[in-house]
Amino acid sequence: MTDKKNLRTPIVCVMGHVDHGKTTLLDKIRGTAIVSGEAGAITQHIGATEVPIDVIVNKLGDPRLRDRFMVPGLLFIDTPGHHAFTTLRSRGGALADLAIVVVDINEGFKPQTYESLQILKRFKTPFVVVANKIDRIGGWASHKDMPFAATFKQQSPDVQGRLETKLYEVIGELYNQGFAAERYDRVTNFQKTLGVVPASAVTGEGIPDVLMVLLGLAQKFLEANLQYSAKNPGIGTVLEVKEEKGLGATLDVILYDGTLKKGDTVVIGSLGEPIRTKVRALLKPRELSEIRYESKFKQVSKVTAAAGVKISAPGLEGALAGSPIRVSTEENLEEIVAQVKSEIDEVRIDTGSVGVMIKADTLGSLEALVHEFQKDEVPIRKAEVGDISHRDAVEASTVEDPLYSVLIGFNVKVHPDARDFLQESTVKVFTSDVIYRLVEDYQKYVKEQQE
């Protein structure tokens, strides 16, 4: 029997197409957790929100469920989108243990829906699909925060029929993408079949069901992954490098194993040699009741996985979003530095002499982008984290083959001096915040060139 104490909170990312309701869903989950009564039950982290199991079980309205689930709750990453998902990488995979893919039931699949599914398939991450905005179905009678089955029963047969039709369009699309899917309450084996929950992020209908399916997935698929010990040295991923007033460069980190303490020596990935520094302060957001304080943050002496925390320390300027952060002792410092370095190098691309140049904003997105272009057998000359600089522009312009005199930028800026240079040059530039679109646009360009 697994010991409950050794299971950490699973980390959940919300993905899906823009405007399909990711942010609203996250707000709803946070909101219902607060409203459900237990003040302080919900814990605000840096970059994430923790919903404890008791709050979820209360919502489900069946106290017997309390003993069925082993995990202590769910930790939702506050930044929605597959961007956060890919940024949050860990060695050999994704940091998020679970995901929610939100799709507007009235609009159906869109580019970022497909992209989310591709990413999750690649990382073999268990997920649930939320068929959102059911309250927009013609004639729908809303019942605030009700479980799906209960609100569905109260709809007229016409409305029920409309929902089923739209739902099975979503299920059909999933099938085309290689997923056997079914309305979640009709799934008998979640190992074989993907659950789809009809819901509304605005009215809260179906949201208890979403939480229950997530807990079920954690229970079925993740027990081994969630084993951890608070005694382990802390390991995390850098979510963001952020300038804070009075603190300088700080790191927002999601810790996924062990414990991180004030004063610990940590090693962090950067573009050059890994950074070695000592944690000066660990910061958490203040509770709403504490806003009389000047600073948004309060100090804590340690955090235990899974948690989101802000780290203040000297020398963090060059840290890379998406890179690992590991606690070391004096004895194993060199070993840990080598480990972090090799984790970063895994992502970097051997610079071939021929190929396109790729720039991305984080290590995780770079990895995803490189993967997609390699899948299409597009040669890559260089792949780096960072904005498109004048130097990049010049370098691309020296390539004669128009197929490779190409700059591909994901979620990065083009520096003004680079922009000026590029306007005068024949270099082809593609920028987007959708990976899929970059791949498609490049393919289209290649076809045009070959005609």
CA distance 123 to 162: 34
How many CA atoms are closer than 13 Å to the CA of 168, on its beta-carbon side?
6
Nearer to ligand GDP, 109 or 373 (CB): 109
Q: For residues 328 and 334, what is the distance between their CA atoms, to the nearest angstrom?
A: 9
Which of 66, 121, 136, 278 is in the footprint of ligand GDP by CB under 6 A?
Answer: 136
User: Which partner, Mg ion, ligand GDP, none, binds residue 20 by CB below 5 to 8 Å per kind?
Assistant: ligand GDP
Does 359 help bind ligand GDP (rule: CB under 6 A)?
A: no
Site for Mg ion, residues 17 to 76, rule: CB under 5 A: 22-23
Minimum CB distance to ligand GDP, residue 118 (Å): 18
18 binds ligand GDP (CB under 6 A): yes
Residue selected from 10, 47, 80, 126 as contacting ligand GDP according to rule CB under 6 A: 80
C-alpha to C-alpha distance for 67 and 57, rounded to whole angstroms: 10
Cα torsion at 54, 56, 60, 62 (round to 10°)?
Answer: -20
To the nearest whole angstrom, how small is the minimum distance from the Cβ of residue 130 to ligand GDP?
A: 9
Smallest distance, Mg ion to C-beta of residue 227, A = 33
Minimum separation from the CB atom of position 432 to ligand GDP (A)? 16
| Least distance (Å) between residue 142 CB and ligand GDP | 9
At 328, give phi and psi (nearest 5°): -130, 160
In sign, the C-alpha dihedral spanning 431, 435, 438, 441 is: negative
Contacts (Cβ under 8 Å, ≥6 apart) of 66: 53, 54, 57
Among 4, 19, 93, 232, binds ligand GDP (CB under 6 A): 19
Tell me: does residue 132 bind ligand GDP (CB under 6 A): yes
Name which of residues 168 to 227 contact ligand GDP (CB under 6 A).
Answer: 200-202
Question: What x/- string results for residues 21 through 60 when contact with ligand GDP is judged by CB under 6 A?
Answer: xxxx------------------------------------
> Cis peptide before 149, with omega less than 30 degrees from 0?
no
Which CB, 17 or 45, lies closer to ligand GDP? 17
CB of 88 to ligand GDP, least distance (A): 18
Min dist CB 333 to ligand GDP, Å, is 42
Tell me the residue number closest to ligand GDP, measured at CB.
21
The count of chain residues that interact with Mg ion, using the rule CB under 5 A, is 2
Q: Which of 45, 83, 89, 133 binds ligand GDP (CB under 6 A)?
A: 133
Q: What is the rounded CA–CA span in Å between residue 224 and residue 44?
A: 26
Nearest distance in Å: CB 22, Mg ion: 5
Name the one residue in this structure whose structure tokens are 């992020």.
201
Residues 84-113 that bind Mg ion (CB under 5 A): none
Q: DSSP E strands: which ranges in 234-374?
A: 235-244, 248-257, 259-261, 265-268, 275-278, 281-285, 297-300, 302-304, 307-312, 324-328, 356-360
- Measured from the CB atom, is 90 or 116 closer to ligand GDP? 116
Among residues 112, 116, 111, the alpha carbon closest in space to that of 96 is found at: 116
Binding partner of residue 250 among Mg ion, ligand GDP, none, CB cut-off 5 to 8 Å per kind:
none
Residue 364: which H helix or E strand, with range?
A: helix 363-375
Query: Buried (b) or exposed (e) across 118-135, using 16+ Cβ within 10 A?
Result: bbbeebebbbbbbbbbbb
How far out from the chain centre does Cα 71 lie?
20
- Residue closer to ligand GDP by CB (options 132, 323) is 132
* Binding residues for Mg ion (CB under 5 A): 22-23
* Binding residues for ligand GDP (CB under 6 A): 16, 18-24, 80, 132-133, 135-136, 200-202
